[in-house]
Amino acid sequence: MQKTEFIWFDGKLVPWDQAQVHVLTHALHYGDSVFEGIRAYDCGDKGSSVFRLKEHAKRLVNSAKILCINIPYTEGQIYDACIDTLRANKMKAAYVRPLAFVGYGEMGVYPGENPVHTIIACWAWGAYLGPEALEKGIRVRTSSFARIHPNTLMSKAKAAGNYVNSILAKVEAKEDGFDEAVMLDTNGMVSEATGENIFIVENGVIKTPPLTAILDGITRDEEGRVRTRANRHGGVLGGITRASLVQLGRDLGYTVEELPFTRDELYVADEAFFCGTAAELTPISSVDRRTIGSGHAGPVTKHLQKEFFKVVHGDNPKYKDWLAPYTI
């Protein structure tokens, strides 16, 4: 990680090395913090822009609400503070990390009246899964760890504690020689990766698991007639890049379906890719040592990737409302 000069800490810009907390900070012990991952892009002579900053600020506040963490800042204040932090550090392009966490005070599971702190850091961060991954794709394995059930942890909150599930899957994949892991939900359907959403392409149709996956079950009514029953599992985090690609794909004329799919459907897909703030749009070359399509980015993936980078760099005015412009 490349250090920058300042971190925004509870409303003040402090030197990077002075942004410190007590070792008995509640969130260090119990994981009660929420965060966002945001990217700012250098748009050349158009200045710089932060991608979907408004939506990220809203999700941070909503995640905190889900966890009963009372952030003492509004969405608008978080939005402005992200821009202020980028400008203070003279960053034309950066990864931005807002974090709200329960601080030092009472120890024990119940945080009581412990203070809530908010920080925003930014630093230079290139391709999350490697510079070659955006073109050649990555090798993926199916994790032995299932994605958390929504009645176990609040899976719609981007909470630090939830990511222990992701850490276990990521470590397992890396130690087995893979780049990333794909995780199944507790019904055995494809869910998402450790920090990315997943898409597949079949016969030109783009598919991604819904935020609430639905499996059809069979039951019978009192008269013996067969009925279908929806068994819902909503363990997929509502990715902001995911939502953007769903809209972008449809605007480009593709059929984009939000439907559950199985691991074997993933194996035989024509194309597959991950998406997320860090991963952007990264092709999947293989899953469990089974080559996906041609083994590198397919035509639909390349098209979406090209158009996505046009959007984030301000080269498609149709999506200007997705960008928060700023200058240094």
Is position 158 annotated as part of the catalytic site? Answer: yes
- For residue 321, give the 3-state DSSP assignment: helix
- Looking at 156, 158, 170, 207, which residue is catalytic? 158
Measured distance CA(237)–CA(239) in Å, rounded: 6
Cβ-contact 48, 86 below 8 angstroms = yes
Measured distance CA(129)–CA(138) in Å, rounded: 8
304 closest CA partner among 245, 257, 217: 245
Helices (H), ranges, 209-270? 240-251, 263-267
Supply φ then ψ for residue 182, to 5 degrees. -105, 140
Measured distance CA(291)–CA(271) in Å, rounded: 10
Measured distance CA(272)–CA(300) in Å, rounded: 10
What are the residues whose beta carbons fall under 8 Å from the beta carbon of 23, sequence distance 6 or more?
Answer: none
Give 152-200 as a DSSP string: TS-TTS-BGGGHHHHHHHHHHHHHTT-SEEEEE-TTS-EEEESS-EEEE
**Residues noted as catalytic:** 158
